[in-house]
Structure 1
Amino acid sequence: MKDDRLLEMRIFQAVVEAGSFTAAAHSIGVSQPFVSQTIQRLEARLGSKLLHRTTRGHRLTPEGETFLGAARRAIEAVEAADATLQQDGPRIAGHLRVSVPIAFGQDRITPLMPAFLSRHPHVSVELRLTDDIENLIEDRIDIAIRMGRLPDSSLMHRRLCGLQRIVVAAAGLVARHGMPASPAELDRFPCLAWDGSREHLNRWPFVVDGEPVIYRARSRFQSNQGMSLYQMCLAGFGVMRMAEHLARPAIDAGRLVQLLPEQTATDASAIYAVFLPDRSIVPRIRLFIEFMVESFRSPRWHAAAPPAAGADQPR
């Protein structure tokens, strides 16, 4: 039987601490309707009003004050129980739900799983490969790997490594159109572009004569999925700006060529492991994050990368 009582407690605590439903939703990465509906279900189940709503926000009822204290103790007790029984590495057990972007997950995270699972035989992992930004609470995600700049929120994060994107094309495409000497000359190439929530990645940053320049990529082919764009790029159907973890091995193999390396702007973003604040003490979550941090301490693809021109990536 599905039991959402602990989830309801976490949402209720977030509302009280954030000061509003909207702020709570933003702080924990869920939708405002989800927060509102959860509180309504909680009050209906308890048969008590926990919050007085006003145009200025809300305040706790006496029943809400009592329940808040009990909820906090219950959440702490659950986490303490996990920690008490799972102090020693060999005994750590439980299930992890991990959300990872598709390309990075296939290329870099999945190959690490045999080592992690062998090291911790009582831990199971559900690896969710998606280019959607999943809600950690709504989708019951323990850890999410995020690429780029993180929005302001109360979510905790650990930096795994830097993220640099570079502009590349198949060697055959460069042979047909010639090597560009400036971002403006990319106009003679077909490009590959993102759509949906990642459309901002179609603004490619360069530095020309010390000045930032943005090239706006437009394409006959768009996708919301990175591996689809990567495969089209390998097939010679367009120029793409992609993360180095994919680009460098293909460049070393002669399948792709980097364009405008001396004018490529430094990407001021990174790759992170993101998790809810109260989950950091759960041993299996902590171990997985530490394993990721260690695994990406010196990414192999960085060794082959030439220095890029300095400039933050506009968003």
Structure 2
Amino acid sequence: MKDDRLLEMRVFAAVVEAGAFTAAAQGLGVSQPFVSQTLQRLEARLGCKLLHRTTRGHRLTPEGETFLNAARRAVAAVEAAEAELQQSDEQISGPLRISAPIAFGLDRITPLMPAFLARYPSIALDLRLTDDTENLIEDRIDVAIRMGRLPDSGLMQRRLCDLRRIVVAAPALLAAHGKPDTPDALGALPCLAWDGSRDHLNRWPFTVAGAPVILRAESRFRSNQGMSLVEMCLAGFGVMRMAEHLARPAIAEGRLVQLLARETVADDGAIAAVFLPERHLVPRIRVFVDFLVEAFRDPDWDDAPRPD
């Protein structure tokens, strides 16, 4: 039997703490309709109003004040109970649902999972690979791996490592078109571009004589899935601005060449694990995030030689 009572309590508490449905939805990483519908179901189940809604916002009813205190105690009790019972690696148990970008998930997260599951034999792990940004509550995600500039969403986050992207091309492409020595010359080569929500990644930043230059990557081939762009780049179809965790090993193997290293602007983004604030004490979530932090403390792709 599906029991969403704890979820309803968390959503209700988030609305009260945020002061508005929209702000609560942003903090939880879910849609505003999801928050509204969850509160409606909760009030219908309890048979009373918890919030008085007005054009200026909302305020707690007497029943809402009583239920808020009880909800906070219930959520804290569940987290404390799990933390108290699960002290050793063998005792830490339960399902763990993880979301990660496809390329990073395949290249870096999946290879780590045998060691993690061997260390925690009572954890059952569900790894979802998608380039869409999933809602932690709606999609029931325990930990999501996010890349780039992380918004102030109200989610807790643990930084795993820096995220840097560099411009690369296959040797065959450069043999056919020549190696560009300026961003303008690079613009004459075929490029590879993101589609959909990742379109902002098609703005490639450079500096020329101290001045910022943005190259807009246009392409005959666009994709919303990073690994398809990587495969097309390796096949010599176009130039790509690629994450270093994929690019550096391919450069070391001679399958890719870095372009315009001096002119490329360094990213200020990161790769991070994010999760709901009240979930940080859940043992299986805590040990998974700690495991990732340790695994990426000194990324092996940073050891690859850099161009002079």
- Give the TM-score of the pair, scaled to structure 2: 0.98
> Residue 143 of structure 2 corresponds to which residue in structure 1?
143
Does the alignment pair 1:109 with 2:109? yes
> Residue 222 of structure 2 corresponds to which residue in structure 1?
222
SS of residue matched to 1:89: coil
Matching residue's letter, 2:10: R
- What's the CA shift for 1:90? 2.3
CA separation of 1:60 and 1:247: change in aligned 2, threshold 3 A? same
SS of residue matched to 2:135: coil
> Residue 131 of structure 2 corresponds to which residue in structure 1?
131
CA separation of 1:16 and 1:190: change in aligned 2, threshold 3 A? same
- What's the CA shift for 1:229? 0.6
> Residue 262 of structure 1 corresponds to which residue in structure 2?
262
Contact map agreement 2:136 2:275 (CA 8 A) in 1: yes
> Residue 162 of structure 2 corresponds to which residue in structure 1?
162
> Residue 201 of structure 2 corresponds to which residue in structure 1?
201
- What's the CA shift for 1:237? 0.8
Runs of 4+ in structure 1 off by over 3 angstroms are none
Per-residue CA distance 1:137-168 (angstroms, 9 max, x = gap): 11110000000011112100000001110011
- Give the TM-score of the pair, scaled to structure 1: 0.96
CA separation of 1:217 and 1:257: change in aligned 2, threshold 3 A? same
> Residue 54 of structure 2 corresponds to which residue in structure 1?
54
Give me the whole-angstrom Cα distance separating, in 1, the residues matched to 2:130 and 2:256: 25
Pairing 1:1-315 to 2, within 5 Å after superposition: 1-304=1-304, 306=306
Per-residue CA distance 1:20-73 (angstroms, 9 max, x = gap): 000000111100011011101111111101100011110000111111111111
Matching residue's letter, 2:117: L
CA separation of 1:174 and 1:307: change in aligned 2, threshold 3 A? closer
Give me the whole-angstrom Cα distance separating, in 1, the residues matched to 2:65 and 2:19: 14
Give me the whole-angstrom Cα distance separating, in 2, the residues matched to 1:243 and 1:214: 18
- What's the CA shift for 1:245? 0.5
Per-residue CA distance 1:103-131 (angstroms, 9 max, x = gap): 00000000000100011111111000000
SS of residue matched to 2:262: helix
Matching residue's letter, 1:253: E
Per-residue CA distance 1:56-99 (angstroms, 9 max, x = gap): 11000011111111111110111111111102222111111000
Matching residue's letter, 1:93: S
Give me the whole-angstrom Cα distance separating, in 2, the residues matched to 1:110 and 1:153: 26
> Residue 311 of structure 1 corresponds to which residue in structure 2?
none
Give me the whole-angstrom Cα distance separating, in 2, the residues matched to 1:41 and 1:307: 59
Matching residue's letter, 2:269: S
Matching residue's letter, 2:196: G
SS of residue matched to 2:125: strand
SS of residue matched to 1:286: helix
SS of residue matched to 2:187: helix
SS of residue matched to 1:242: strand
Give me the whole-angstrom Cα distance separating, in 2, the residues matched to 1:124 and 1:174: 46
- What's the CA shift for 1:305? 5.0
Matching residue's letter, 2:141: I
- Report the number of matched residues: 308
RMSD: 1.1
CA separation of 1:255 and 1:307: change in aligned 2, threshold 3 A? closer
- What's the CA shift for 1:191? 0.7
Give me the whole-angstrom Cα distance separating, in 1, the residues matched to 2:272 and 2:13: 26
Matching residue's letter, 2:303: A
**Please, which runs of 5 or more residues in structure 2 have no aligned partner?**
none
- What's the CA shift for 1:187? 2.2
Matching residue's letter, 2:284: R
SS of residue matched to 1:190: coil
Matching residue's letter, 2:235: A
